[in-house]
Structures are given as structure tokens and as C-alpha cells.
Chains A and B, each alone.
Chain A
Amino acid sequence: MSTQNNYAFPDPNGRYGQFGGRYVPETLMSALLQLEQDYLRLRADASFQSELAYYLKQYAGRPTPLYFAERLTEHLGGPKIYLKREDLNHTGAHKINNAIGQGLLALRTGKRRIIAETGAGQHGVASATIAARFGLECTVFMGEEDMRRQALNVFRMRMLGAEVVPAMSGTRTLKDATNEAIRHWVSHVDDTHYVIGSVVGPHPYPQIVRDFQRVIGDETKEQILEQEGRLPDTIVACVGGGSNAMGMFFPFVEDTQVQLVGTEAAGHGIHTEHHAASINKGRPGVLHGAKTMLLQDEYGQVTPAHSISAGLDYPGIGPEHAHFAESGRATYVPVTDKEALSAFYLLSKLEGIIPALESAHAIAYVVREAQRMQKDSIVVICLSGRGDKDVEQVAHMEGGLADGANS
């Protein structure tokens, strides 16, 4: 493993090793450079930081608990398992952390309008929520296929006053929603802030989203020291674009004794064509303005991703994760739809916590590996969101709501 002391990425060109950068139409460049300048200024601004802290605490409900999952631990008979309860945030997932930060960024830079892309709908809901709270106009782009899978979240966004625009191109999922958001932004760049929902996109977005999500890892560090008196041995988080994982991992980057594990959606299995495992099965390429690991064919056409969870159904990954994978600081392992679904039930029944299908991928990894881990070791799982949004989809898969679900 390479040494990660004095970790200093992104570099001045917005690069994380070979990854990252700004591959966007020239029309957007001035806005990105301005955003970078504004962000760096506000990041160092105490009044901005205290406003951010206020909303995270009083509005989102932070800090979220670090919960010892006693029954899951007993059941698996392996390491001590803690859950970082991002599912307890207002709006039900970690997405609100970034939405608050970027909403304040929009306010401070005089933008009255925000746009966002969304996959599972959690980032769309978080953006719509913040837009309502801050009195901003909000348009959310969502793949038509995801609007069907996550109809409840579409309804929530509309209730919050946002306009939801279906992305009808390509695979009609998160990738295409992001394309549409970028296209829209190119046309409205003078009065609109684009609230990207993950650690993806052109510089400075991966850095901005990481910084707004690092509260997850910062709190975890403090909480585990308080409860266990030491750092965890392993931290596990699911990765689509990778914002909950980056928020969790980043504060531990220089603590090289802590193993960082990202779980990628393996869909039907990475030996099939139906998965979203960009690190395990992709090659370096450019998607949504950044060089990163990408699922693509021989000629560089982006290939469709698949996952049971709309939030992980993405052929790319944040560039800093690609860098972590290349440097060896974090490892990225595939978890199938089936494993995730079974972890979804397991956590619901053992702990009374229904996880989002995305987060269930992280739990599934620990279920699979628990026997191989030392009994006195400590594992923290980032429970990035709650599963309310997935209940209907899971019920349908199990043969309809009327039958109930038994596993």
C-alpha cells in the first residue's frame, strides 16, 4: 500500500492522480472556475461554516448516531458491527448534507435557481427540500425508468415544489439524468447553480461534495473513539457515484491502519453484462466531465449499468475513488442484487432498521465476510439511507404487496 500521509488531492488541476479534471464544453468553464473560487473563499469563511453547522444540526438532525448493531453482531458471530445512521437524517439519507452545503453556496453566490440530477430520488428530494427551505426555484432531472422505480420520491419532490423532468435518452437512468442536467446547465449557466449529488462531475464538484459529506466520517471518528477508545479496523460503504463512501472514508485517509472497503453493485454478477461495477470491470475513461473508471465497450461507448438499486445504477464512479483504487488506499468489492436483497431483510428483522437497497450492499459485504474477520475487530458500516423508498419495489419483487414478504 502506498503511503497516504499529507494527502493533498485534488491537485491544482482538479486531478486525483490520473483521474478527475474538467472535460466539459467551453461554455461551462468560466462558471466552473468561478465556482471553484467562490467555494474556496466560502470554505474558509467562518460565517458560512457556522451557518452550515446550524442547518446540519437544527434542520437535518445531525449528528447522526453511531449505533452498535448488537443482534447483527451476534447473528454473524464475527466482528463488532457499528452502523453510522445516515438513514436518520431529515429526508432519509446522507444526501441532505451536500444539499444543505450547496444550497447555501447557491444563496451566497446569488443564484436563485438550482438544478439537480437524481437516481433513486434521494438527492432529488434533498435538493427539493433545500430549495423549499431557502426559497430557491428547483428543477430535478430523473431517468424515466427511475421515475417508475421510485414513484414515491417523484411525488415527494413535486410536493416540495420542485419540477421533475424525465430524462428520456439512453438507458433513462442516473447517467442520462446527469447528461440532461449538464445540458440544461449549459443553457442556464448564468443564473443557475447545478447541485451535483455525488462526488462525480468536473472539478471542483468532486471536492465540494466530498467536503460537504465528510461530516459523516468526522463524526464517526469522534464517536468510535468515545465508544471504543480506538479507530475501527474496517469501514464499509456502498459506492455508486460514491458520495456517502467518500464522506465516510475521507477523514480516515491518513489513518492507514483503517481498511476502507467500497461495495460496488454487481447486479446479476460481474461475470454477466448486468452490473454497475466500474472499478472491477471498467477502464479509465471520461464521463460527466471527469476522467474516472468507466464501464464502456472497446470503442469507448458507455455501456449501460444495472443494479437493483437506482442509486448505484451508474456506469462511472467518483474520480477520487478511482484514485483510491489505483493507489490501493481503498478496495472495491462487488455485491450482487441477491446478496443486497437478503441483507435488506436481515437488517430489517434483526435490528428493526429497514435499510435503503443501496446501503444493503454494504451490509451484505459484512454478512459475507464476517466469518473471515477477527472477532475482536471493529467494523463500521455506513448506513447511507433508509429503505422506505424501496419497500414497494421489494414487495413487487416478492410477488405483490398482498402476499407480504417472507425470506
Chain B
Amino acid sequence: MERIRDAFASLGSNRALIPFIVAGDPDYDTSLAIARAILESGADMLEIGFPYSDPLADGPVIQAAALRSLNRGCQLPDCFRLVQDLRKETNKPLIAFTYVNPLMQYGATQFFAELAQAGGDGVIVPDVPLEEAPDLASAAEKQGIAWIPLVAPTSGENRVQAIAQQARGFVYCVSSLGVTGERSAISTQVESLVQAVKRHTNLPACVGFGVSTPDHVREIAGYADGVIVGSAYVRRIGDAASGGGDAIDMVSHFTMSLKDACRA
């Protein structure tokens, strides 16, 4: 949790770049090398998707990545190992993104204990809304893992307030209706969502879902504390895996261009 706070504190007037990749996509070693390259190219934190068979908040690009990873046999212990391997090399925050069922099957206490032990800092569970969150959020807190909840354009002021109070680390603002996936434009609605979050917490507010280009990042950097870029990374990794170029090269250049857009 401290690493997340410190990372935001050290940004000055810049914004945090938070890329997302799927653990084990397309295989364990490649995903480790990709994560390393992203962090070395200027990302401020990394969100690591734990692959799941039925990712209902995700669009086709991340679904396909989860499938590639699962087909190579990547399971929870491998995801924790990825966090651990990265932690040996970096002080930047590492955030797990997991659906609730794998977490529930592993046992919340054990899940968060192992995540913390591996060097993880936070967790995002897209299918656990406010009402279902209290037990899981407190289990995370006991292990020093930040519970990073999502707010949506449909949440409304009262829910935003309650969610902001439940949040640790930062608040994840969903840019638009729908699942993850690249979009041609970022909805202007999200700025008012970020403002609503800021009325209720001093935690950073970061924007994700659909953020695909340096232009999007520049726009969001005008009002939010950070941006999360997922499908645009995962698509590049998928293209590379099917022979469309070198993944390390592609994600490094992409990271640098996004990082530029995060600078004030």
C-alpha cells in the first residue's frame, strides 16, 4: 500500500501511467520479459491480469489473452510467481487484477497473504461491487493489500461517495459504459466522474477502459491522476505472439509514447 502512495507522491505534476498485461500471455517467460520492459520504459505501476475462463468485464482482446495464458497452463501460483519475480527487480507498485471466483476458491486470506508475500501492493476485482466488497476489502487490508474499487459513469453521487470511502491506493474510474477494449474516443463524462471521486476522497483517481492512444492519455492527464491502458497493450502482445513483430520492442516504444503524454 505504501508503494502506491509513494509512487503517486513522487510524480510531482506528472500523471501515473499504469499499463495492464495478462500474466502468462502468451507464455510465462515472455510475459515476464514484457512486464520488465514496460516498467523499464517508464511505467509508474503495473496492473497484472490473472487469467480467468469467464472474464465478463473484458472485451474480446483481453478474453483472447486470458485464453492464450490458460492454454499454456498459467494458474494462480504462476501469477504470484510473476509478481515475485518482478518484485526482485523493481520498487514500483504491482497490482493484481482478478475475477472473484479464483480468489474465492483460493481463499481470500490466503490469496492476499500470498500476494503480499510475493510483493504485490493492490488488487482490483471487477465483479465485486460495493455491496459484496466489505469482507474481501478487509481481508485485503489485513495483509496490507490496497483494495482498489471501480466507479462507473452510472454510479451516481451516493455510490461514488461510498466506494471512495472503501477505496485504498486509488480509485479506478471506468471511462464509459461497456467492457474493456480500445475506443476511438474517450467520453467527456469521465471528467465529471473524476471530479465526483475527488469530492469524497483525497486518494488519486485514475481512468481506465478504452484508453488506447497518447492523445487519449494527454486528454485524461488534464484532470485525472493516472491512466490505465490495457487492451492497447494486450493487442500488441497478441499481434506479436502471432508473428506480427517483436513484443518487447512494441511495448517499450508504446510505453515511452504514453509516458510522454503523462508529463505535465
Which B residues are CB-close (under 8 A) to A27? 152-154, 174, 177-178
State the CA gap A27–B127 with chains docked (Å).
10
Chain A CB within 8 A of B245 CB: no
User: How close is A19's CB to chain B, nearest CB, in angstroms?
Assistant: 13
Chain B CB within 8 A of A220 CB: no
Chain B CB within 8 A of A189 CB: yes
Known: A24-B129, A283-B105. A30 touches B156 (CB 8 A): yes
Assess whether A25 is in contact with B127, with CB atoms less than 8 Å apart: yes
User: How close is A154's CB to chain B, nearest CB, in angstroms?
Assistant: 22
Known: A23-B128, A23-B132, A31-B154. A186 touches B57 (CB 8 A): yes
Chain A CB within 8 A of B255 CB: no
Known: A175-B54, A301-B102. A23 touches B178 (CB 8 A): no
* Interface 1/0 per residue, A158-190 and B, CB below 8 Å: 000000000001100001000100110011111
State the CA gap A189–B153 with chains docked (Å).
11
State the CA gap A22–B131 with chains docked (Å).
8
Which A residues are CB-close (under 8 A) to B170? none
Which B residues are CB-close (under 8 A) to A83? none
Which B residues are CB-close (under 8 A) to A24? 127, 129
Which B residues are CB-close (under 8 A) to A302? 53-54, 101
* Interface 1/0 per residue, A14-54 and B, CB below 8 Å: 00000001111111111100000000000000000000000
Chain A CB within 8 A of B110 CB: no
User: How close is B49's CB to chain A, nearest CB, in angstroms?
Assistant: 14
Assess whether B132 is in contact with A30, with CB atoms less than 8 Å apart: no
State the CA gap A288–B54 with chains docked (Å).
9
User: How close is A197's CB to chain B, nearest CB, in angstroms?
Assistant: 17
Chain B CB within 8 A of A298 CB: yes
Which A residues are CB-close (under 8 A) to B75? 299, 301
State the CA gap A299–B79 with chains docked (Å).
12
State the CA gap A199–B57 with chains docked (Å).
21
State the CA gap A188–B176 with chains docked (Å).
11
Assess whether A30 is in contact with B159, with CB atoms less than 8 Å apart: yes
Known: A25-B127, A29-B129, A179-B54. A300 touches B101 (CB 8 A): yes
Which A residues are CB-close (under 8 A) to B76? 299
Which A residues are CB-close (under 8 A) to B129? 22-26, 29
* Interface 1/0 per residue, B9-48 and A, CB below 8 Å: 0000000000000000000000000000000000000000
State the CA gap A29–B17 with chains docked (Å).
28
Assess whether A300 is in contact with B154, with CB atoms less than 8 Å apart: no
Identify which of residues 70-118 in chain B touch chain A, using a CB-to-CB cut-off of 8 Å. Answer: 70, 75-76, 99-106
State the CA gap A24–B59 with chains docked (Å).
15
Chain B CB within 8 A of A287 CB: yes
Chain B CB within 8 A of A296 CB: yes
Assess whether A300 is in contact with B102, with CB atoms less than 8 Å apart: yes
Contact of B59 among A170, A183, A289 (CB under 8 A): A183
Identify which of residues 197-212 in chain A touch chain B, using a CB-to-CB cut-off of 8 Å. Answer: none
Assess whether A186 is in contact with B179, with CB atoms less than 8 Å apart: yes
Chain A CB within 8 A of B264 CB: no
Assess whether B149 is in contact with A188, with CB atoms less than 8 Å apart: no
Chain B CB within 8 A of A377 CB: no
Which A residues are CB-close (under 8 A) to B231? none
Assess whether A26 is in contact with B163, with CB atoms less than 8 Å apart: yes
Identify which of residues 135-160 in chain B touch chain A, using a CB-to-CB cut-off of 8 Å. Answer: 149-156, 159
State the CA gap A46–B126 with chains docked (Å).
39
Contact of B54 among A13, A170, A187, A284 (CB under 8 A): A170
Chain B CB within 8 A of A286 CB: yes
State the CA gap A300–B50 with chains docked (Å).
12
State the CA gap A13–B135 with chains docked (Å).
14
Give A contacts to B, CB under 8 Å: 13, 21-31, 169-170, 175, 179, 182-183, 186-190, 283-289, 294, 296, 298-302
Give 16 new A-B contacts, CB below 8 A, not counting A25-B129, A27-B177: A24-B129, A25-B56, A25-B152, A26-B154, A26-B163, A29-B131, A179-B54, A183-B59, A190-B154, A285-B105, A286-B101, A289-B127, A299-B106, A300-B52, A300-B101, A300-B102
Give B contacts to A, CB under 8 Å: 52-54, 56-57, 59-60, 63, 70, 75-76, 99-106, 126-132, 149-156, 159, 163, 174, 177-179
- The 4 A-B residue pairs whose C-beta atoms are closest, nearest first, are A300-B105, A187-B178, A300-B102, A27-B152
